Structure 1
């Protein structure tokens, strides 16, 4: 994480600073009760950032095999705090609390992670975050891991060594793409233990190096992408 990103997230740990920050965000979005809403949401916003950071810290002490779960939960909390800055009533309905993504539970016999696809659901955290944070309301029916990973700047060095590949135009901003990839990895940990365990132990699948590089890079990316998005909403 860059020092600038770290400094801003540290600054927002104080509810006094958080109220000021949210007050600005809500005024910018035309909320009539901006000051009251900022006061009501300050602790919820700060606690989301705290939980996101604590999941990342916990991941540092856990085996590689379970890291995707903790990274996914970390980014989930960071995203929810981001949403609070533009939607003070979040969550207004139970529909927005689901993942908003789905994947095939039973994998094919010769399953390859890079070819695996996720489907974007009409309701849930992913589509709501995409609309609220990035104004994206139209989605493809499904998207592969390869198409999500290739355009990420921090994945380009490892893709450089992959033959016959071309960098695709990104489907989503990096924050959204990273969340979608972490969702799928967390599902593998939860429901495909045999495949996941063999991949880690044997390291004989091409998928391994791409997954390993992604997971090695993602803690810093979560911090930086979150802090950059939050800072872009403020006058700081």
Structure 2
């Protein structure tokens, strides 16, 4: 099967109930009752994808004020489809129907989006998805600041550089990252300490000589991030609480918070969109523009990998 290059590329495969059931049967082949489960889940899987696409199409044609709500619900519908490939009993209990993440009460005075936080709950879709697909089982109670989450998205590096004079990424150029003086000064490392810190590298990244990291990867390999817009791997310049989160979970957390703001903090939200008095607006706009394509693409890649694993 050819690599999926656009997130809508994977949808047409699942417009056939016959194909979808065969695909799910392969996903469940090591589980008892795979025939029955694949039959039962065939249409829910197809409907999750269909509903998710509808939300994204509506978001593309909608004003910014309601985009976060539509994007978030489109995103979680795609996640539910991905979850169903691994958990044939989803949703087995009502606990997994919650979002799995909460946002704190907002202060009306001098509230800043970049300083806001979300907190991971014990149960819910975020937690279930994180455990199933990334083996992250101990996220309950973790808090993530919006700025820290955005720091870890490579396409946001220009926004941080221009608006805050902050370096957040060191990009690979033509598959190589030279360990130069500006990089070493940023981390306060010597060449030896940098190599020692990166002695254990993800598969697909290796040392080329003494001072160059080299790769042919075209996907995220933590702690390295994939810049989809530029087709480059990047080394985050900042290590924070979000450094260990796969980017798809970062999009989930930010979209959740923005959707809650758009729904329940209407006065602050509309004033932000109209007055644009802080850097919050350009950061939010840049993220919304990015996630409209990259969010579902990240989930499409998970589904594509599943199709490859199951011999599709």
Q: How does 1:157-236 map to 2 (within 5 A)?
A: 157-161=158-162, 162-166=164-168, 167-169=237-239, 170-235=243-308, 236=312
In terms of Rg, which structure is larger?
A: 2
**CA offsets, 1:172-192, max 9 Å, x none?**
111111011000001111121
Paired residues of 1:41 and 1:88 also in contact (CA < 8 A) = yes
Q: Distance in 2 between matches of 1:131 and 1:177?
A: 15
* Range with bigger deviation, 212-221 or 159-168: 159-168
Q: Distance in 1 between matches of 2:106 and 2:59?
A: 27
Q: Distance in 1 between matches of 2:165 and 2:306?
A: 40
Q: Does 1:92 align with 2:92?
A: yes
CA displacement at 1:3 relative to structure 2:
4.0
Q: Distance in 2 between matches of 1:99 and 1:33?
A: 29
1 or 2, which has the higher strand percentage? 2
Paired residue for 2:9, among 7, 19, 33? Answer: 7
SS in 2 for 1:99: coil
Which runs of 5 or more structure 2 residues have no equivalent in the other structure?
169-236
Paired residue for 1:17, among 14, 19, 24? Answer: 19
Paired residues of 2:65 and 2:262 also in contact (CA < 8 A) = yes
Q: How does 1:20-169 map to 2 (within 5 A)?
A: 20-27=22-29, 30-139=30-139, 141-161=142-162, 162-166=164-168, 167-169=237-239
SS in 1 for 2:88: coil
Which runs of 5 or more structure 1 residues have no equivalent in the other structure?
none
**Aligned-pair RMSD on alpha carbons?**
1.6
TM-score after normalising by structure 1: 0.92
Aligned pairs, how many?
A: 233
CA displacement at 1:165 relative to structure 2:
4.8
Q: Distance in 1 between matches of 2:6 and 2:66?
A: 29
Q: Distance in 1 between matches of 2:155 and 2:51?
A: 24
Paired residues of 1:171 and 1:177 also in contact (CA < 8 A) = no
